[in-house]
Amino acid sequence: AYGDLISGKREYFQVDKPYYRRDGEVVWTHLTVSLIRDADGIPKYQVAMLEDITDRYRLQERLRHQATHDPLTGLPNRAAFFERLERLFEEPEPGARFGLCYVDLDGFKVVNDSLGHDMGDQLLTAVASRLDAALTPLGHMVARLGGDEFVVLLENCRGEQEAVAAAKTVLAALAKPVIVGDPKLAVGA
């Protein structure tokens, strides 16, 4: 864009650009560079205007995160999961495969009804944390669809064995009781 500007092919350009301070802090800016021509129309100067948009950028990032992540667990939500799944179908590579593991917690309604929604929320948060810790390092996406339903997306799945291994990883992650306050809660899936 700058090359086109100084050669006279364009009159201006705009770009959002990060700058890094010495302490590592990022300052986001909106940069506008305009071409100034002389009386004969020949490019002579450029004028740049730099606006600090750090607060606006951070707000947009926070809003984007809230729109795509479950507020309780911090995992990607249903919308983020389906968006990622749709991208897999848009431009699949030849021979591309993916796997899905649908995870529904056993007995969650009993916990919610007998111990209360706060305890149920704590259980969901603990389960989400375990699933995320066990599967995300393997390159799999863990998302909360809602209620006590989770899903694991295996991109570039090498076959049935990898999907079965992911399912076993889910069950192993939930094998030990979850400690929520005083009670130890056993949860299956």
Map 54-82 to HEC letters: HHHHHHHHHHHHHHHECCCCCCECHHHHH
Beta strands in 53-156 (DSSP E): 99-104, 141-146, 149-154
Q: Token pair for residue 74?
A: 């911090």
Give the separation between CA 169 and CA 98, rounded to whole angstroms: 17
* Identified catalytic residue from 52, 55, 132, 148: 148
- 148 catalytically annotated: yes
Active site residues: 148
